Amino acid sequence: MKKLLEEDLISDFSNIGISHGDTILVRASLGAVGRMEKKAETFINALLKTIGTDGTLISLAFTSGSFFRKPKKDDAFHLGKRSYAGALPNAMLNRDDSFRSKHPMCSFVAIGKNAEEIISGHNESSSSYEPVRKVLDLDGKCILVGCVGSSPGFTTTHLAEYDLGHSTKLPVFPWLYSTYYIDDSGKHKIFRRDDLGLCSNSFNKFYSIYVQNEILKANYIGNAYSVLVPAQKAYELENIELSKNKKFNVCKSKLCFMCNGGRWDRAYLLPLFVCRRLMKKYLYS
C-alpha cells in the first residue's frame, strides 16, 4: 500500500472544497486515511497548509465525566488532560501553536488565525457547544474524514439542539454527569452538566437532507471516504428539521440509554431498557 505524503493530502483537501482562509471544524479517523509517516502530524500539517495563514483548524477535545457516581479529583479537567476524541485532537493539543478552551467536559482545540477568538470564553459557565457558533459566524466548514458512518453527523446539530432547548429540557437529570476541574486559582471545583448533547448515532439521517439541498460534498482523503458541509447552512437545515420533529434524531438501537429512557419524551422505555441490559449482561455474556 502506497505511503501517503503531505502533498497527497493537500490535493485531496483541495478537491473536497477546502481552500485558503477557511475555518474548518474537523473530526477524523486517522487510521482510515492510510499509511503516513508521523500520521497525525502529517494530517494536521497538510490541513494547515491547505487553509494557509488566514485559516483556522478546530477539533473536539472532549473529556469524560462521571455518571451518577461522584467524580474523582485526580481525574479533574485541566488544559493538559488527554481527550477521548481520538488521535487528531490529542496531536493538536501537543502542539505549541494550539489553544484549548476551558469547558470541563466539552473543550475545543484550535490552531490558526482565529483560534483564540473561537475558544475564548468557553468555560464552565458556557454552553457546551458554543465555539461552534463562532465557526458559523466565520462562515466555516465542517468535515468528517473516515468516520462518516462510524461517528456520523456534524457538531452543528448539537448546537441546534441547544438553541431549540432540546439539550436542556429533554435529558433526564443532566446534572448527574459531573467532573472536577481545576480553576484559574488552582482549586478543585465540581462541574455538573446543565446541557447534554442528545444521541448522535442517527445523525446520518441528516445526510439526505444535505444532499437534497445540494450542500454536501464527498470525496476521499487518502483512503478515507469523507464529507464536507458549510456549517451555517447545515445548522439551518438541522434547526428546521428538529423544530418540526424533536424525535427526528432518536436512534433505533434498543441498547442506547439516551434514546430508551435518558430523555423525558422516551423515559417510559426505561424499564425495558434496564431489562435488555441485564439480559445482555447475564444471559448472553
pLDDT in tens, 101-144: 999 999 999 999 999 999 999 999 999 999 999 999 999 999 99
Q: How far apart are CA 109 and CA 61, in angstroms?
A: 6
Q: How far apart are CA 129 and CA 116, in angstroms?
A: 16
Long-range contacts made by residues 210-218, C-beta under 8 angstroms, separation at least 24? 210/234, 210/237, 213/237, 217/16, 217/17, 218/16
pLDDT of residue 108: 98
Report the candidate in 260, 233, 234, 236 with the shortest Cα–Cα distance to residue 247: 260
Question: CB of 64 within 8 A of CB of 35?
Answer: no
Q: What does the block give as the cell for 270? A: 426505561
Q: pLDDT tens-digit profile of 220-279?
A: 999 999 999 999 999 999 999 999 999 999 999 999 999 999 999 999 999 999 888 887
Q: How far apart are CA 141 and CA 124, in angstroms?
A: 26
Q: pLDDT tens-digit profile of 9-60?
A: 999 999 999 999 999 999 999 999 999 988 999 999 999 999 999 999 999 9
Nearest-10 Cα torsion for 196, 202, 208, 214: 30
pLDDT of residue 284: 58
Rounded to 5 degrees, φ, ψ at 229 are: -135, 150
Handedness of CA 67, 72, 78, 82 (dihedral sign): negative
Average pLDDT over residues 168-192: 94
Q: How far apart are CA 211 and CA 213, in angstroms?
A: 5
Q: How far apart are CA 144 and CA 124, in angstroms?
A: 27
Count of CB atoms situated within 10 Å of the CB of 38? 11
Question: CB of 228 within 8 A of CB of 26?
Answer: no
Tell me the one-letter amino acid at 214: E
pLDDT of residue 275: 87
pLDDT of residue 210: 98
Q: What is the mean pLDDT of the chain?
A: 95
Beta strands in the chain (DSSP E): 23-28, 56-60, 66-67, 98-100, 108-112, 141-145, 177-182, 188-192, 217-221, 224-230
Assign 46 to helix, strand or coil.
helix
Q: How far apart are CA 39 and CA 88, in angstroms?
A: 9
Assign 188 to helix, strand or coil.
strand
Q: How far apart are CA 244 and CA 131, in angstroms?
A: 25
Question: CB of 93 within 8 A of CB of 109?
Answer: yes
Taking 60 as the threshold, does the pLDDT of residue 204 lie above it? yes
Handedness of CA 94, 20, 206, 119 (dihedral sign): positive
Count of CB atoms situated within 10 Å of the CB of 97? 10
Q: How far apart are CA 185 and CA 149, in angstroms?
A: 42
Give Dmax (Cα) for the chain: 57
pLDDT of residue 102: 97
